[in-house]
């Protein structure tokens, strides 16, 4: 209830609030997503520790990067011996999708310019999904805020606990914890493989990523694998000249 | 030191793209090609990262207990298990295969 009162200060009887959802329902959905995903910080803390990242470094990543796939990609690339520039480039490319979330959210939430630099930090998959699922602006703002807050607090807390825990038990490989990273990537990837285009991109990226691994410096094969996206788009465009269906 | 450089670049880069989305005029990124690419880029990166972290140690391709763990994660995903259960299945199966196989 407290969270409801502390929302964004939008007028209670704004146009559209008539068919809007009750605040309690928005808060419940937002907390559900925030808690479920926030707990995955454990997996990140553990993976980071297994990759030889210090507890402080893992916590700084969760506090300041706060976009899971990029964080996993960075520690994975560093663990594989990648140099800081290729490792950061992979993490950056994974983060570019957040720009497109921001585009849609800026119209939906209509945030004041002064608030945008703060709100930007919470523009990620989950907050976007919850905000876009709401029927009106007031609910969308509330959903974005509650999801962002719950996720941010839990993600950082569980990152710390996971990193401390993994460090305490020593050999993370003996406990199978080195499988957490790839399992996370698979779980993020699976729902994206909807059409043949996505599957073709994934298959080509897999071949490129593994094929170049033995011959190129660590981190570079992933960036080459990223070229699977434009390559498949280009091949599709050649097959059907009007291929720009959106 | 290298780790801190990578962290610094990632912090700046990831925040910049988030902020860019909220600040740029909608038209700038709305071209269909750009949108399609931005949807497909994560697919390519995640596929490559999954494969590399399952089937390699640094510069060598290997097949070890992690493959069994990833298969378990795949089964959990097909059964629509929650996220943490998927990761847990991979960890437990990988540890079990290592314990059995030495």
ipTM of the complex model: 0.89
Position A19 scores a pLDDT of 55
The pLDDT of residue A211 is 96
Q: Which residues of A touch B50 (CB under 8 A)?
A: 182, 185-186, 189, 206
Residue among A107, A202, A233 whose CB faces B37 most closely: A233
Angle between helices A180-189 and B65-78 (to 10 degrees): 30
Q: In this predicted structure, what is the pLDDT of residue B102? A: 57
Q: What is the pLDDT of residue A241?
A: 58
Rg, Å, chain A Cα set: 20
Q: Is the separation of the CB atoms in A163 and B17 below 8 Å? A: no
Q: Which two tokens stand for residue A19?
A: 């068919």
Token pair, residue B67, equals 């493959």
Contact flag B21-A190 (C-beta cutoff 8 Å): no
8 Å CB contact of A222 and B49? yes
Both tokens of residue A132?
């876009």
Kindly state the helix (H) or strand (E) to which residue B60 belongs, with its residue range: strand B60-61
- Which of B66, B86, B93 lies closest to A187 in CB terms? B86
Number of alpha helices (DSSP H) and beta strands (DSSP E) in chain B: 4, 2
Nearest to A69 among B2, B42, B86 (CB): B42
Q: Do the Cβ atoms of A213 and B46 come within 8 Å?
A: no
pLDDT at A242 (0 to 100): 52
Q: Tens digit of pLDDT for each residue in B33-59? A: 888 888 888 899 999 989 998 998 877
Cβ pairs bridging A and B (under 8 Å): 309
Give me the half-sphere count of Cα atoms (radius 13 Å) on the Cβ side of residue A196. 2
Inspect the interface and report whether the beta carbons of A95 and B17 lie closer than 8 Å.
yes
Check A189 against B82: CB less than 8 A apart.
Answer: no
Phi, psi of A18 (to 5 degrees): -60, -50
Based on C-alpha coordinates, what's the Rg of chain B?
19
Comparing alpha-carbon positions, the chain A residue that sits nearest to B50 is: A182
DSSP A21: P
Ranges of residues in chain A with a pLDDT under 50 are 1-18, 243-246
Question: Which of B38, B44, B86 comes nearest A201 by C-beta?
Answer: B44
Taking an 8 Å cut-off on Cβ atoms, the answer to whether A92 and B26 are in contact is: no
Q: Do B70 and A70 touch (CB under 8 A)?
A: no
Query: What's the token pair of residue A33?
Result: 């997503």
The partner residue sitting opposite B90, judged by closest CB among A54, A87, A183, is: A183
Which residues of chain B register pLDDT less than 50? none
What does the alpha-carbon distance between residue A52 and residue A69 come to, in Å, rounded to a whole number?
18
- CA A172 to chain B, closest CA, distance in angstroms equals 10
**Considering the entire predicted model, what is its pTM?**
0.79
With beta carbons less than 8 A apart as the criterion, state whether B88 and A44 touch: no
């Amino acid at each position: 209830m407290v969270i409801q009162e502390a929302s964004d200060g939008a007028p209670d009887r704004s146009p559209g609030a008539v068919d809007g959802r009750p605040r309690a329902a928005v808060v419940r959905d937002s907390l559900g997503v925030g808690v479920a995903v926030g707990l995955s910080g454990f997996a990140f803390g553990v993976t980071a520790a297994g990759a030889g990242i210090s507890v402080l470094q893992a916590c700084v990543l969760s506090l300041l990067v706060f976009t899971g796939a990029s964080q996993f990609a960075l520690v994975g690339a560093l663990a594989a011996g990648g140099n800081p520039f290729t490792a950061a480039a992979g993490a950056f490319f994974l983060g570019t999708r957040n720009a497109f979330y921001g585009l849609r959210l800026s119209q939906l939430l209509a945030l004041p310019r002064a608030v945008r630099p703060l709100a930007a930090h919470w523009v990620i998959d989950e907050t976007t999904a919850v905000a876009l699922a709401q029927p009106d602006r007031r609910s969308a703002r509330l959903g974005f805020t509650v999801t962002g807050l719950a996720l941010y607090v839990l993600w950082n807390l569980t990152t710390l606990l996971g990193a401390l825990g993994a460090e305490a038990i020593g050999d993370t490989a003996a406990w199978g914890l080195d499988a957490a990273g790839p399992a996370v990537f698979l779980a993020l990837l699976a729902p994206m493989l909807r059409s043949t285009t996505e599957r073709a991109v994934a298959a080509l990226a897999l071949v490129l990523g593994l094929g170049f691994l033995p011959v190129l410096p660590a981190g570079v094969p992933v960036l080459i694998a990223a070229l699977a996206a434009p390559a498949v788009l280009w091949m599709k465009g050649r097959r059907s000249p009007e291929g720009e269906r959106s | 030191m290298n780790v801190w450089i990578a962290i610094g670049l990632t912090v700046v880069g990831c925040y910049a793209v988030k902020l860019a989305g909220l600040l740029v005029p909608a038209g700038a990124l709305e071209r269909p090609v750009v949108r399609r690419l931005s949807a497909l880029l994560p697919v390519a990166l995640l596929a490559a990262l999954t494969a590399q972290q399952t089937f390699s140690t640094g510069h060598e391709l290997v097949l070890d207990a992690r493959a069994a763990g990833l298969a378990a994660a795949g089964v959990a995903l097909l059964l629509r298990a929650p996220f943490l259960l998927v990761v847990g299945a991979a960890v437990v199966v990988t540890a079990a295969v290592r314990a059995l196989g030495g």
